[in-house]
Amino acid sequence: MSTETISPRYADLDLWPTRDAVAAMLEGQLAAAAAVQAASDAIAAAADAAALRLRENGRLIYAGAGTSGRLAVLDGVELGPTYDWERTVYALAGGMGALLESVEGAEDDAAAGEAAIREAGATPADVVIGVAASGRTPFTLGAVRAAGAAGALTIGLASNAGSPLLAASDHPIALLTGPEVVAGSTRMKAGTAQKIALNTLSTAIMLRLGRIHAGLMVDMRLSNAKLQARAATIVARISGSDLPTAQAALAASAGSIKRAVLIALGIDERAIEKTEGNLREALRP
């Protein structure tokens, strides 16, 4: 596996000046971003397919172990406040306690991955995203295979070409980051590539689901003063109204940015229901 390869370039890394070692590590981070760029078409195709499945009542199910699993959970958790997305399930090797403490051996249990998907009750309406740098992690592979058998759409992210996870996924996303500066430490380049790819994939899905309008987060939860102020600015920007009008519209809409935009423009806020939440469609004459 390329992610486990020992690079001769770093054989004396411990003897390097710290400045040179840090420069090499940062070079690796830039290479990770380039690896994701090369997978942009695959990410876009996966996002389009996922959005089609999720329009009604489908769920995003993230599956992974270790660093990959933690990054997957982080991506899913952030969709709640950012896009008001609540239909998220996690299949993490070792359970959610593994977010804080390593659960050794959990990643080797393929049956546990399969069981996690069965317990989640995966259906053809769901999208399962499996993440594993090696592309061979038994837990993640078991989860993705079980999800495919249940009819769910499967997306696999791995850093080794031709790996079983990519082969088992409807939409394989190869993030070919190669050898690590510290051999086998996939929390570095591979982890960075996973974080970028997951951010991009989930954001593209939310875009296609109509939760982003004109580059703005129009389904954001107004959970604190900062976000309430940001929401008023968003409403004012889209509607062309002044800030007091936008704030009043937000109050009248119980904090719904999309509905507040319509209220500020004198449009029946129920128009958003007829367009399945698509604000651009609701604003058309």
Residues known to be catalytic: 78, 107
- Could you tell me if residue 210 is left (phi over 0), alpha (psi between -120 and 50 degrees) or otherwise beta? left
Q: Within 10 Å of residue 255's Cβ, how many Cβ atoms?
A: 16
* DSSP reduced 3-state for 49: helix
Burial, 113: exposed, middle or buried (Cβ in 10 Å; 0-12, 13-18, 19+)? buried
Cβ atoms of 233 and 218 within 8 Å: the answer is: no
| Amino acid letter, residue 22 | V
159-175 exposure pattern, b = at least 16 Cβ within 10 A, e = fewer: bbeebbbbebbbbbbbb
Q: Token pair of 202, please?
A: 């989930």
Phi, psi (deg, nearest 5) at residue 64: 180, 175
Cβ atoms of 158 and 164 within 8 Å: the answer is: no
- What 8-state DSSP symbol labels residue 158? E
Helices in the chain by DSSP H: which ranges?
A: 18-37, 40-54, 66-83, 110-120, 138-149, 164-168, 189-208, 225-239, 243-252, 257-264, 271-274, 279-282
Q: Report the C-alpha gap between 156 and 3 in whole angstroms.
A: 16
Q: Within 10 Å of residue 19's Cβ, how many Cβ atoms?
A: 8
